[in-house]
Amino acid sequence: MTTNSTGVLADTAAYAAAVEEAKRAAAAYYTAGESPLDDDAYDRLVRGIAAYEEEHPQEVLDASPTGKVAGGAASGDVPHTAPMLSLDNVFSAEQFVTWTASVERRIGRPVAAWSVEPKLDGLAVAARYRQGRLERLITRGDGAAGEDVSHAIGTVLGLPDRLGEPVTLEVRGEILMTDEQFEQANAVRTEHGAAPFANPRNGAAGTLRAKDRPYRVEMTFFAYGALALEDSGDLAATLAELPHGEVLTYVAGLGVHTAADTDVAPRTVTTAEEVLAGVEDIAARRATLPFGIDGIVIKADLAADQRDAGTGTRAPRWAIAYKLPAVEKVTRLLAVEWNVGRTGIIAPRAVLEPVEIDGSTVGYATLHNPADITRRDLRLGDHVMVYKAGDIIPRIEAPVAHLRTGAERPIEFPEACPQCGSEIDMSEQRWRCTRGRDCRLVASVSYAAGRDQLDIEGLGATRVVQLVDAGLVQDFADLFTLEREQLLSLDRMGETSTDNLLAAIEVARTRPLSRVFCALGVRGTGRSMSRRIARHFASMELIVAADAEALQRVDGIGKEKAAAVVSELTELAPLIGKLVAAGVNMTEPGATPPAEPGTETGDGATGGGAQDALPLTGMTVVVTGAMTGVLEPLSRNQMNELIERAGGKSSSSVSKRTSLLVAGEKAGSKRTKAEELGVRTATPEEFAELVEAHLVTASEA
Ligand code: IVH
């Protein structure tokens, strides 16, 4: 595509290409239920098109998807009684609040009540009932007319042939496949030699249109509205005046299915805060629902408020869709890694073909234990459904078995501890190295020597195993007292490797405190927390002397973590003593010790004074995409170190508290989010200029 990934369109040609791409995607989505773009990407594309059109109103193309139902892709030949509209979208609480203000300005009073309900991820249909009988089923089409899909009557749960009362009305709602119906449909299809559906939405779209299949698969209807038909009689007046919530209760009473019996039942509230609490509640339940939702729909509940707010050509002005990011994606399982934890537990981890989910790139997912892999019959090369939302660790939901080609291979389980080579205790579901915590010696020395800690080149895990096996290293402090002869006595250690390793250890002896502290592997203090602690206290002596209260003055350390750190540091005192004795650096360059409590001024998290002159003081900076120019060789950790050296705080996610986003090549959703929130962005080159004075130190660290 000629648009860049942020959705910003540079010129007429990029705009035209974007319109063309949106048109193709909408056509595929609304006719076959599939799309080359996922929902997030399509929304971004349309937002980019709308933004361009706002700036260049005279250039708007006829084919533009903006302002059209179904992006202008669908059509049909059965006219709708009243237009079947689409919904406008918001993507954040701020946008929602702005939208409510515009509705209230329009009607000249506060909206009396809001209905909050799930946005079901299926296909919109209108079901016409006459005298209580289901007469016709029509798709949304272009909003003015739809396709007759009455042949599907009888296959849709929740859409009864006969209502509880002989009333005449049109029920509108969404037809979808629940997860179970989707599984069932694919089982039946594979039995009949048909290709499986890629996802439930695709299944519902295909099934709704299919006329002459030799088998039947079931779908489910959820009503989200009802309106009178020309011969509805008295019911017309009643329906026109009922609040939305009561319309849903009424149709449910007639026997039509609504979301009322789900964990995300529609609710009526009065304030914007309550709406947002409802949004959060529904979003949090999304993962465990037995059907797909892609957002939350918020509607003015009272008929009078709806009437006064009015309706646009594409969407009503009294309702809005609060879109949720796509959280489930299909990707490939490339490999399984076996990692040994602190206590010797051997845990499998899935290596995935990287996939963007909910704002971050996912390359790994947890697999619980070997039994779990066997139970789910996972194979290497499988397409797998990966789920990730918010801060949760990505997990593999299921293999997409119907996408198998036959080239998939079984996952091999380790026969010996992958860390130290000892036997594995397989008596429990979770496998454990028979050396238990002792096994961690190799792991913890390797960690300490790692790139983001002491960065000792030439000291990989194999070498560490050798050192441990030879009894030369009982902890990583022993590395600093290794002698040349001792190293030479090891297998495959010649003069050159020995001298190189010794030189690398010498460099490690002078690393900044933040890295030495990180090397200790104190639970809950990774790279960024270690840097904050080191900058705050400036010396190991002060860290060790700190009590829980003093530790809590470090940004991000709460009561619980402070207590845990204090107790671990007590355990680690002998190791720290050995490091000091070995002449390892115990101070943080550029940091000044904190003032005594009470005399402290300014931000306690950054230690003492002398910070004000730094270019990023008081700023929270996020880095995304590939760095270029002088920043190209820096790892993410080194970028974060650079930010902190320049007085800023590094963070991994964009929020309204972010002061600056450094957006490199292929920056994706973080840039979009920054743009939405009005967060300043800089190219790697611009950023390098800003922190120029601190660059050298960071790349040498
Ligand atoms: S109300 C006039 N409520 O989302 C109001 N729509 O993106 C129009 N949808 O066309 C629809 N769940 O197909 C409404 N609870 C819900 C919905 C919902 C899903 C669909 C519907 C609509 C589309 C707009």
Task: Give the integer Cα–Cα distance in Å for 271 and 257.
Answer: 28
Mean pLDDT across the stretch 269-275? Answer: 96
Residues 16 and 93 in one domain: no
Task: Please report the pLDDT score of residue 607 as a whole number.
Answer: 45
User: Is 3:18 a contact under the CB 8 Å cutoff?
Assistant: yes
Q: Which residue has the higher pLDDT, 60 or 539?
A: 539
At 640 the three-state DSSP class reads helix
Q: Listing from the earlier edge strand, what are the strands of the sheet with 133-139?
A: 133-139, 123-130, 169-176, 219-228, 156-157
Residues 57 and 155 in one domain: no
Last residue of a domain, one of 272, 302, 323: 323
Mean pLDDT across the stretch 532-553? Answer: 94
User: Is 526:514 a contact under the CB 8 Å cutoff?
Assistant: no
Full 3-state SS string of 486-553:
HHHCCCCCCHHHHHHHHHHHHHHCCCCHHHHHHHCCCCCCCHHHHHHHHHHHCEHHHHHHCCHHHHCC
Q: Which residue has the higher pLDDT, 329 or 159?
A: 159
Task: Please report the pLDDT score of residue 191 as a whole number.
Answer: 80
Residues 221 and 240 in one domain: yes
549 part of a folded domain: no
Q: What is the pLDDT of residues 635-647, one digit of tens each?
A: 888 899 899 888 8
Neighbours of 459 (CB within 10 A): 22
Residue owning the nearest CA to atom 5 of ligand 1: 85
Task: Give the integer Cα–Cα distance in Å for 619 and 536.
Answer: 16
Last residue of a domain, one of 66, 93, 110: 66
User: CB-side exposure of 314: number of CA atoms within 13 Å?
Assistant: 13
CATH number at residue 441: 1.10.150.20
411 part of a folded domain: yes
Residue 35 has pLDDT above 60, yes or no: no
Residues 402 and 467 in one domain: no
Task: Please report the pLDDT score of residue 318 as a whole number.
Answer: 98
Compute the distance from residue 227 Cα to the ligand 1 centre, in Å. Answer: 14
Mean pLDDT across the stretch 252-278? Answer: 96
Q: Which of 81-85, 201-205, 485-489 has the lowest mean pLDDT?
A: 201-205
Compute the distance from residue 119 Cα to the ligand 1 centre, in Å. Answer: 6
Q: For residue 33, what pLDDT band results from cuts at 50, 70 and 90? A: low
Task: Give the integer Cα–Cα distance in Å for 241 and 247.
Answer: 9
CATH number at residue 164: 3.30.470.30
CB of 408 sitting under 6 A from ligand 1: no
Compute the distance from residue 166 Cα to the ligand 1 centre, in Å. Answer: 26
Residue 519 has pLDDT above 50, yes or no: yes
The structural domain count of the chain equals 5
Last residue of a domain, one of 378, 405, 425: 425
Compute the distance from residue 384 Cα to the ligand 1 centre, in Å. Answer: 29
CB of 152 sitting under 6 A from ligand 1: no
195 CB-contact burial (10 Å; exposed 0-12 / middle 13-18 / buried 19+): exposed
CB of 356 sitting under 6 A from ligand 1: no
Residue 36 has pLDDT above 90, yes or no: no
Q: For residue 342, what pLDDT band results from cuts at 50, 70 and 90? A: low
Task: Give the integer Cα–Cα distance in Å for 113 and 300.
Answer: 6
Phi-psi region of 10 (alpha: psi -120 to 50; beta: other; left: phi over 0): alpha
Task: Please report the pLDDT score of residue 603 as a whole number.
Answer: 42
Residues 299 and 334 in one domain: no
Q: For residue 193, what pLDDT band results from cuts at 50, 70 and 90? A: confident
Task: Give the integer Cα–Cα distance in Å for 144 and 648.
Answer: 55
Q: Which residue has the higher pLDDT, 399 or 532?
A: 532
Residue owning the nearest CA to atom 23 of ligand 1: 86
Residue owning the nearest CA to atom 12 of ligand 1: 119
Task: Give the integer Cα–Cα distance in Å for 411 and 402.
Answer: 18
Residue 89 has pLDDT above 70, yes or no: yes
Residues 52 and 136 in one domain: no
At 642 the three-state DSSP class reads helix
Compute the distance from residue 316 Cα to the ligand 1 centre, in Å. Answer: 10
User: Is 559:486 a contact under the CB 8 Å cutoff?
Assistant: no
Per-chain mean pLDDT for the chain:
88
Task: Please report the pLDDT score of residue 618 as a whole number.
Answer: 84
Counting atoms of ligand 1 from 1, which one is nearest the CA of 69?
10
Q: Which of 190-199, 393-402, 560-569 has the lowest mean pLDDT?
A: 190-199
Residues 49 and 174 in one domain: no
Residue 296 has pLDDT above 80, yes or no: yes
User: Is 322:299 a contact under the CB 8 Å cutoff?
Assistant: no
At 647 the three-state DSSP class reads coil
CATH number at residue 50: 1.10.287
Q: Which residue has the higher pLDDT, 604 or 307?
A: 307
Q: Which two tokens stand for residue 271?
A: 């304030």
364 DSSP β-pair partners: 351
Mean pLDDT across the stretch 456-465? Answer: 92
Residue 699 has pLDDT above 50, yes or no: no
User: Is 353:384 a contact under the CB 8 Å cutoff?
Assistant: no
Mean pLDDT across the stretch 580-589? Answer: 95
Which residues have C-beta within 8 Å of that of residue 694, sequence separation ≥ 6? 614, 615, 642, 645, 646
Task: Please report the pLDDT score of residue 268 as a whole number.
Answer: 97
325: DSSP letter: P
Nearest to 275 by CA among 90, 105, 85, 39: 90
CB of 115 sitting under 6 A from ligand 1: no
Residue owning the nearest CA to atom 16 of ligand 1: 119
Task: Please report the pLDDT score of residue 645 as a whole number.
Answer: 87
Check: pTM over 0.85? Answer yes or no. Answer: no
Task: Please report the pLDDT score of residue 390 as a whole number.
Answer: 57
Task: Please report the pLDDT score of residue 194 as a whole number.
Answer: 75
Counting atoms of ligand 1 from 1, which one is nearest the CA of 121?
19
Task: Give the integer Cα–Cα distance in Å for 70 and 116.
Answer: 23
Pocket probe for ligand 1: among 80, 297, 306, the residue whose CB has the most ligand atoms within 8 Å is: 297
Task: Please report the pLDDT score of residue 606 as a whole number.
Answer: 43
Task: Please report the pLDDT score of residue 600 as a whole number.
Answer: 43
Task: Please report the pLDDT score of residue 700 as a whole number.
Answer: 47
Task: Please report the pLDDT score of residue 213 as a whole number.
Answer: 82
515 part of a folded domain: no
Nearest to 124 by CA among 143, 104, 105: 143
Residue owning the nearest CA to atom 22 of ligand 1: 86
| Residue 670 annotated among the catalytic residues of the structure | no
CB of 176 sitting under 6 A from ligand 1: no
Q: Per residue in 373-388, is it b (16+ CB within 10 Å) or e — as a string? A: beebebbbebbbebbb
315 part of a folded domain: yes
Pocket probe for ligand 1: among 116, 174, 264, 323, the residue whose CB has the most ligand atoms within 8 Å is: 174
Task: Please report the pLDDT score of residue 701 as a whole number.
Answer: 47
Counting atoms of ligand 1 from 1, which one is nearest the CA of 89?
7
Determine the structural domain holding residue 643 and report its residue range. Answer: 614-700
Residues 130 and 48 in one domain: no
239 part of a folded domain: yes
Q: For residue 522, what pLDDT band results from cuts at 50, 70 and 90? A: confident
579 part of a folded domain: no
Residues 61 and 127 in one domain: no
Residues 241 and 334 in one domain: no
Q: Which of 2-16, 283-297, 394-408 has the lowest mean pLDDT?
A: 2-16
Mean pLDDT across the stretch 205-220? Answer: 87
Pocket probe for ligand 1: among 120, 286, 291, the residue whose CB has the most ligand atoms within 8 Å is: 120
Q: Which residue has the higher pLDDT, 163 or 188?
A: 163
CB of 121 sitting under 6 A from ligand 1: no
251 part of a folded domain: yes
Mean pLDDT across the stretch 118-133? Answer: 96
Mean pLDDT across the stretch 674-694? Answer: 89
Q: Which residue has the higher pLDDT, 25 or 110?
A: 110
CA dist 668 to 225, 246, 570, 661, 663, Å? Answer: 37, 42, 43, 12, 9
End-to-end CA distance of the chain: 40
Q: Which two tokens stand for residue 420?
A: 């130290």
Q: What is the pLDDT of residues 415-454, one digit of tens each?
A: 999 988 999 999 988 898 988 667 878 888 999 999 999 9
Q: Which of 57-66, 82-91, 565-574, 598-607 has the lowest mean pLDDT?
A: 598-607
Residues 243 and 271 in one domain: yes
Residue owning the nearest CA to atom 3 of ligand 1: 224
Mean pLDDT across the stretch 348-374? Answer: 88
Counting atoms of ligand 1 from 1, which one is nearest the CA of 123?
13
Percent of the chain beyond pLDDT 90? 56
Task: Give the integer Cα–Cα distance in Å for 121 and 143.
Answer: 18
Residues 221 and 276 in one domain: yes
Per annotation, catalytic residue among 68, 119, 329, 578:
119
458 part of a folded domain: yes
